[in-house]
């Protein structure tokens, strides 16, 4: 088994990049996430964060809204850095792995019946390695819960031509989204080749909007996000883009 310190979706490489770019290149994306999280107003005072790493894209104001925060984070260095970065916040740790099998999401929900859940840029890293039934199991387990996720759609070495938030339409294809970011001025009907890594999450995980996160000057991720807030029987539900199969 690979150590979580060496994992591709986090670990040392991620922390070294954070040290280098967190206060510069990562700032626009971190601010985008902060705006999105400020708009997500679950009634619950308990939060479970799945994959927070050291919380490089999380902010103290958001965390302070909750009276109890539990983290599911396998990287021990990330957990230590998270506690150091947010000294005013107490984080409880839970070792349950909600990605371990198709019953993982239901176990997560059952373990924290009163909580809201934030999947913190983790599902795009893991979804292509999971049982294909896992995304549906997640949606079923999260029925009636407040939850939110931001997750990678694709990664590309070429910088996009546009920045900022982009709403994802219900009938959107990944191709049209990519064209909008990487070739917005291309004449209609023309095609161009883009070499990218597809995280396999588009049309598989719900998504309402997206933006680019430039992780390094040569690695640019298109990240999607969605959120649902539930209070009693009233629910704010986003459109479930592409659920049921990739477009």
Ligand X SMILES: C[S@@+](CC[C@H](N)C(=O)[O-])C[C@H]1O[C@@H](n2cnc3c(N)ncnc32)[C@H](O)[C@@H]1O
Report if residue 105 touches ligand X, rule: CB under 6 A: no
Q: State the residue number with the nearest CB to ligand X.
A: 10
Report if residue 32 touches ligand X, rule: CB under 6 A: no
Q: Which is nearer to ligand X, 102 or 126 (CB)?
A: 126
Q: Which is nearer to ligand X, 112 or 172 (CB)?
A: 112
Binding residue for ligand X (CB under 6 A) from 15, 29, 48, 73?
73
Q: Given the rule CB under 6 A, which of 50-58, 85-93, 107-115, 201-209 is the region that contacts ligand X?
A: 50-58
Cα distances (Å, whole numbers) of residue 32 to 28, 148, 224, 229: 6, 15, 11, 19
Q: Which is nearer to ligand X, 72 or 178 (CB)?
A: 72
What is the Cα–Cα distance from 175 to 13, expressed in whole angstroms?
A: 30
What is the Cα–Cα distance from 152 to 190, expressed in whole angstroms?
A: 26
SS3 109: helix
Query: Over the range 46-85, which residues count as b (16 or more CB within 10 Å of their CB) and which as e?
Result: bbbbbbbbbbbbbeeebbeebeebbbbbbbebbbebbbee
Q: Given the rule CB under 6 A, which of 117-125, 154-162, 165-173, 205-213 is the region that contacts ligand X?
A: 117-125
Positions touching ligand X (CB under 6 A) are: 4, 7, 9-10, 14, 50-53, 55-58, 72-75, 78, 97, 99, 120-122, 125-126
């Amino acid at each position: 088994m690979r150590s979580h310190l060496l994992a591709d979706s986090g670990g040392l490489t991620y922390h070294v990049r954070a040290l280098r770019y967190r206060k510069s290149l990562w700032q626009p994306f971190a601010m985008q996430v902060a705006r999105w999280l400020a708009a997500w107003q679950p009634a619950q005072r308990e939060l479970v964060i799945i994959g927070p790493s050291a919380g490089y894209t999380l902010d103290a104001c958001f965390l302070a809204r909750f009276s109890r925060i539990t983290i599911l984070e396998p990287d021990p260095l990330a957990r230590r850095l998270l506690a150091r970065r947010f000294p005013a916040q107490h984080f409880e740790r839970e070792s349950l792995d909600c990605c371990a099998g198709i019953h993982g999401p239901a176990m997560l929900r059952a373990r924290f019946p009163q909580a809201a859940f934030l999947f913190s840029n983790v599902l795009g890293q893991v979804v292509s390695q999971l049982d294909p039934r896992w995304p549906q199991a997640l949606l079923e387990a999260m029925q009636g819960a407040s939850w939110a996720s931001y997750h990678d759609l694709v990664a590309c070495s070429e910088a996009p031509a546009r920045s900022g938030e982009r709403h994802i339409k219900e009938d959107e294809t990944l191709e049209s989204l990519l064209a909008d970011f990487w070739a917005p001025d291309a004449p209609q009907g023309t095609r161009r080749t883009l070499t990218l890594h597809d995280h396999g999450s588009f049309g598989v995980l719900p998504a309402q909007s997206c933006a680019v996160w430039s992780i390094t000057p040569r690695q640019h991720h298109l990240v999607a996000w969605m959120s649902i807030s539930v209070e009693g029987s009233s629910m704010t539900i986003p459109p479930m883009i592409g659920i049921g199969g990739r477009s």
